[in-house]
Amino acid sequence: MLKYIQTNNSELNSIVEDEDEPREVSEQQTEQTIEKKDKFTVILRKYLKINPNNKDTSQQQDIMKSMSKSEKFSANNKKAKLITERIVEMIALDYQPISIVEDYGFKRVIAAAEDRYVLPSRKLLSQKLIPELYANKKKLLMTEIKMDLENIKSISFTFDLWSSQAQQSYISLTCHYLTNKFKLKNKTLGCSYFPGEHTGNAIYNKIKTMIAEWNIEIENSNSNISIFFVTDNARNISSALSHSGSNFEHISCTAHTLQLAIDDAVKESNMTDLLKRCKAIVTHYNHSNIASERLTETQKRLNLASHKLIQMVNTRWNSIYLMLQRMLEQKDAILIDLPKIKKGQLLFARDWNMIESYVILLKPVFEATKELSREDTPTLSMVLPIICTIEAKLNLFLTSMTQNPGTCFTENLLRSMCKRFDVYKENELLTKELENSNYSLWDILHQRSVSKESTTATSINEVTIEIENYLKLKNIDPIADPLKWWEENYQTFPHLLLVIFKFLGIPGTLVCSERLFSGSGLTVSSRRTRLSPFLAEYLVFLHNNL
């Protein structure tokens, strides 16, 4: 047999030589060796077909088995298809660049795991495999939403605008609803390329088109499903949602409104100078290796947590609180090291007292934003109790600490919150005064849940009696799941159940869209700046729906 092989292909003599001694080889040499082995396999197959009566059948079977193990998978191979699908999903889920299939290290991993598998090219991934997976997943989601729409009372949408590193504009769209099985669903519908001017009319038409792709009409609809939009307070977005002939209601994002109230109080309380100096200090330590190393050494000597200082970013929720809270945590280390840097960046005793006051005042807002940003539980129903709780904390601060340096900020924050959240307080029953407490936001809510007084039902109307019976119940714990409670008690309140299905699925914030763009920033990253807008849309959708 060897004689036959040698006479038919003398080039294959080098294959044996290549494997005599293991040595480091380049990627090009590895591919050349694989090509030679493929030629060798072809010759062996030809020999075995010409000599079917070979007596050494066991040896022949071993050779055939060895040959099958070294053969590359075909494109239709079941295992190859699975590996390819997992690679496409990995690119979407882990924000990997498509060029990873050309990375030498990744090729080595695949070769070690399954050397018969042939990696897809970048072109195949971008032009065929990713679009196909996107189309399949979108079809499945459309089927799921279509079935759910037959049994829901309302659906809510959030959207926001964002620009990538490649200076391309996108608009996000998410939907939220409560099923008749008390299951809260949050779905990413798209992250669409949105070039041109973002006027109110342009935004409205874009959103209407995106939603129509899911067979939902937002204007002049005869559907029994109520439609809500939860967005920030930008003028162009508010203008877009004031469109005449619309069939929806607009709700402002609670977390965004809280941040606007804080911004109002900052401007009116002369906090700007203190925040400017704090930002300069954080910038110095985060940008100077020497200063950062000094601070780390000081933290170790003082047995403080080795935490970096946090920079305030105007566009990020709670960034003022996070910066000041971290500085207060590292106060001792900063005080020791601060004299070594510029004099203009010093903080004095009064400054530290103000920082401490601001941290106390802003902590309830931080806790509220975290709770309202949850996606696994209803949040709109928590807005009014949380706002009233924050106001109770601020009022308590004013009455107990009249000479505190944070008094001016507290008064301005209260004034701004009352103005911006006035629309929520039209119902006197819901704005019942909360008890004072020195504890956290959740302690106040818990105190309210166990101390509520019952009232006597006076109405003979069936619906009114049901409402009053419901209101006589003790409130559930603020961290308890209201959906679970309703699932266990819905038969007792059949009329209220209709209200629950309509309103309990509405989110209190647009955090879903905010998180979507955090992921989008990783999708269109420095290694992906040449990613086409449509491919970016596919990958963002897949990342959130796989």
407 exposure class (CB count in 10 Å sphere: 0-12, 13-18, 19+): middle
Helices (H), 216-271: 235-240, 254-268
Reference 248, options 260, 231, 236; nearest CA is 231
Q: Which residue has the higher pLDDT, 7 or 43?
A: 43
Q: Select 131-253+507-544's CATH number: 3.30.1380, 3.30.420, 3.30.1490, 3.40.50.
A: 3.30.420
Residue 379's closest CA among 216, 515, 512, 537? 512
Mapped onto helix, strand or coil, the DSSP state of residue 189 is strand
Most confident residue range from 39-48, 406-415, 464-473? 406-415
**pLDDT digits 0-9 by tens, 311-331:** 998 877 789 999 999 999 999
**409-419 per-position pLDDT tens digit:** 999 999 999 98
Q: What is the mean pLDDT of residues 458-463?
A: 64
Q: Choose among 329, 288, 336: nearest CA to 310.
A: 329
| Model confidence pLDDT, tens digit, residues 251-291 | 999 999 999 999 999 988 888 889 999 999 999 999 999 99
The structural domains of the chain, with segments of one domain joined by +, span: 72-120, 131-253+507-544, 258-421
The model scores a pTM over 0.85? no
Task: Report pLDDT digits (tens) over 508-542.
Answer: 998 888 787 665 454 554 555 567 888 989 999 99
Residue with tokens 């899911």: 214
Residue that wins the pLDDT comparison between 437 and 42:
42
Q: How sure is the predictor about 200, in pLDDT bands with cuts at 50, 70 and 90?
A: very high
Coil vs helix vs strand at 345: helix
Q: Can you tell me the distance from the alpha carbon of 65 to that of 138, in angstroms, rounded to the nearest whole number?
A: 42
pLDDT of 191 higher than 70: yes
Listed as own residue / partner, the contacts of 282-291 with beta carbons closer than 8 Å and 24 or more positions apart are: 282/309, 282/310, 282/311, 282/312, 282/323, 282/327, 283/311, 284/341, 284/342, 284/345, 285/309, 286/311, 291/337, 291/340, 291/341
C-alpha span between 108 and 229 (Å, rounded): 49
Contacts 24+ apart (CB under 8 A), 407-414: 408/268, 408/269, 408/270, 409/265, 409/266, 409/269, 409/271, 409/357, 409/358, 409/361, 410/361, 412/264, 412/265, 412/268, 412/269, 413/261, 413/262, 413/264, 413/265, 413/361
Highest mean pLDDT out of 178-187, 308-317, 395-404: 178-187
* pLDDT tens-place string over residues 114-171: 999 999 999 999 999 999 999 999 999 999 999 999 999 999 999 999 887 777 889 9
